[in-house]
Amino acid sequence: MLELIRRDGLARVCCLDTRRGTLETPCLLPVINPKIMTIRPRELFDEFGVEALITNSYIIRKDPALREKALDAGVHDLIDFPGVIMTDSGTFQSYVHGEIDVNNKEIVEFQRDIGADIGTVLDIFTEPSWGKKRTSEAVDVTIERTIEAASLKGEMMLAGVVQGSLYPDLRERCARRLSELDVDVHPIGGVVPLMEKYRFADLVDVIFSSKTGLTPSRPVHLFGAGHPMVFALAVLLGCDMFDSASYAKYARDDRFMFSEGTMHLKDMKRISCQCPYCRGQTIETIGRMSEEERARLIAKHNLHESIKEIENIKRAIHEGNLWELVELRCRSHPELLNGLRRLREHKDYMEKFEPLSRDSPFFYTGPESLDRPAAYRYEKRFFERYEHPGADILVGFEENMRPYSRTYASEMRSVTEKSDAHFLVMSPFGPVPIELDEIYPIAQSLFPQIRDQDTETRTRRLMEEMSHRQKYGMCVIWEGDDTLEILASIALGTSKFDIDRARIRAVADYQFGKGASSVLFDGKVTLVKSKTTEKIRNVYVNGDHVLSMRANDGFFTVRPKGAERLRKGFMPPRLRVIVNKDSAEFNRAGRNVFCGFVIDCDENIRPYDEVLVVDESDNLIAIGRTMMTRAEMLAFKKGLAVKVREGIST
């Protein structure tokens, strides 16, 4: 069973329960060929901390001695590994060598009988060159065999492989059907040829179409992905498990793997790697090694580098800077960059998983950064949810955004307060009205001053789109950095524009949806500001504390009185997580909402959104932040659905 621990969009750190303990994902399962053990499984466990590996049941079964020992003593004894053992079924061998002499039933039973912790269906490897009909038939066979395997698996966890070649509809259909079956892990199969040919844009499409059909509550394994340079991108798209034969295969071919790509020993002029295995080595010392010694050294390097990258990725998920890491990694090879650029085709899907905000600032790394769902979210919500307060003059102001530097904001404010002008920053995210300039990602972003053309074009396009959509008496687009000139260009007057009132309205609509501001602020509004930063801290309406504003991301946390207003103002299930009776009494006491207890949820809820926890009669039970989307809450059997901040006692 899978439990979500931490997430960033589709990327996630999870715990997977197995009968040999809990595996933390993302994780890498080194491949052990039972006949050629470049690094022994026991070394993997002791020296590298590897808790799970994958070996091949087909190879074991084909060799009479191995087969007998495996059936007799179990696969863990056979290869001497105390951790989780996943076995592959022979599908890849049938792809490489053509026909194989075992059927699905036989190989699934064999995996079960030798004590594999996770066994794999004998699926049909759908190749990228295949036509649609052939692929569709292969998908049907794969589904049938998965049904058969599920009936045979016993105590073994079962990996049901998503196939469908490059056809998005077949991938999605296969994934959707497999999600209904009693399967525990979902490898995405048939992708090795794409990775071998560096067809990363196609790989991106395949992962998306598979993910679209899969239930979110099971781990997704990218079958055959063993190069650390692809891990970050794959995790970003929601892959949880990888397996690598490459660390050993590359080593036998004198190739060093790095998260920035591969280097062949013969092209290396120096050993700059400082890993525990390479440190102190030179081209000469390595050159003097025997072939086997060298292969072991390079395999250990490759494994170290791969495990390190998995650790980097986990850390990035925890710290909220996975996008930056992925955009760095994807510059290791132009084809990876091509894969990254393909993400823009999947914005709508990604936005569903995009958190409200992140702990790390939004760092621009290239034109691709503006294809991140964080930018798309802003653009969408600005046009859908933002309403112009009706000032007479609009001044578009182009400024380099800097995190935490409030210079331009205070400049704008001083101008705003002295005139009728309503200020907008012409930013790469789109037009930013002064009321929204403290929310994520606007205030927490940094761009280079020297812009690229894609960013320039986007900035102007969104500005023009706004001019068309919103009605203003006058629109002056001003560019530059000399505030005096702006001041001079605007007739000075007494301010009629209340920036604070405008801010709470704009942020409320942006965060909770159009109409939220009317619901929340109906009455006499009083604001409490921070004495040091002068930022809004608390919002009272008719004396009730309805909202607090967070300094780190500029969004609201909801207080009980605010929650009550939202509940009354919006029909269920808007902004709600509906829990069953068993949960309700705990949540009222301030305890968190867990997955098994959720009846329904607003499907427009995004991770880290503020939510109202209600019972089936729409009584307010608690307020908190959701960790999940609706689909996730309903699919997961365990784990935190809503982090409750405040329970509401009856």
Contact positions vs its own copies (CB under 8 A): 201, 260, 263, 267-272, 274-276, 279, 304, 307-308, 311-312, 314-315, 318-319, 327-328, 331-335, 337-338, 341-342, 359, 363-367, 446-450, 452-454, 457
**Do residues 251 and 227 touch, judged by C-beta distance below 8 A?**
no
State the CB neighbour count (10 A cutoff) for residue 586. 18
Shortest distance, position 593 Cβ to its own copies, whole Å = 23
The secondary structure of 88-136 as a DSSP string is E-SHHHHHHHS--S--HHHHHHHHHHTT-SEEE-------TT--HHHHH
* Contact call for residues 9 and 235 (beta carbons, < 8 A): no
Smallest distance, Å, CB 198 to its own copies? 9
CB nearer to its own copies: pick between 456 and 498: 456
Least CB distance from residue 265 to its own copies, whole Å?
Answer: 12
d(CA 610, CA 512): 8
Closest CA to 417 of 474, 480, 495, 304: 495
Q: Which is nearer to its own copies, 120 or 306 (CB)?
A: 306
Please report, as a single letter, which amino acid is at residue 112.
R
Among 8, 88, 553, 609, the active-site one is 88
Residue 164 tokens read as 């469908």
Q: The tokens of 446 are what? A: 């940094």
C-beta closer to its own copies: residue 390 or 448: 448
Place of tokens 């892959």: 239
Structure-block tokens of residue 296: 């072991």
Nearest approach, Cβ of residue 322 and its own copies (Å): 12
Is residue 121 within 8 Å of residue 62, measured between CB atoms?
Answer: no
Least distance in Å: CB of 1 to its own copies?
24
Distance CA 236, CA 216 (A): 14
Helix (H, G, I), strand (E, B) or coil at 86: strand
Q: How far is the CB of 305 from its own copies (least distance, A)?
A: 9
Q: Which is nearer to its own copies, 272 or 290 (CB)?
A: 272
Active-site residue flag, 602 = no
Quote helix, strand, coil % in the chain, to nearest 5: 45, 20, 35
Query: Nearer to its own copies by C-beta: 332 or 557?
Result: 332
Bridge partners of residue 625, in order along the sequence: 610, 643
Nearer to its own copies, 1 or 273 (CB): 273
Residue 244 forms beta bridges with which residues? 30
CB of 418 to its own copies, least distance (A): 29
Of 74 and 367, the one with the shorter C-beta distance to its own copies is 367
CA–CA dist 271, 578 (Å, integer): 58
We find the least distance from the C-beta atom of residue 200 to its own copies, in angstroms, to be 9
Whichever of 147 and 446 has its CB closer to its own copies, that residue is 446
How many angstroms separate the most distant Cα atoms in the chain? 93
Q: Which of 239, 255, 230 is nearest to 337 (CA)?
A: 230
Residues 473, 393 contacting (CB under 8 angstroms): yes
Please give the Cα distance from 116 to 114 (Å, whole number): 6
Residues involved in catalysis: 88
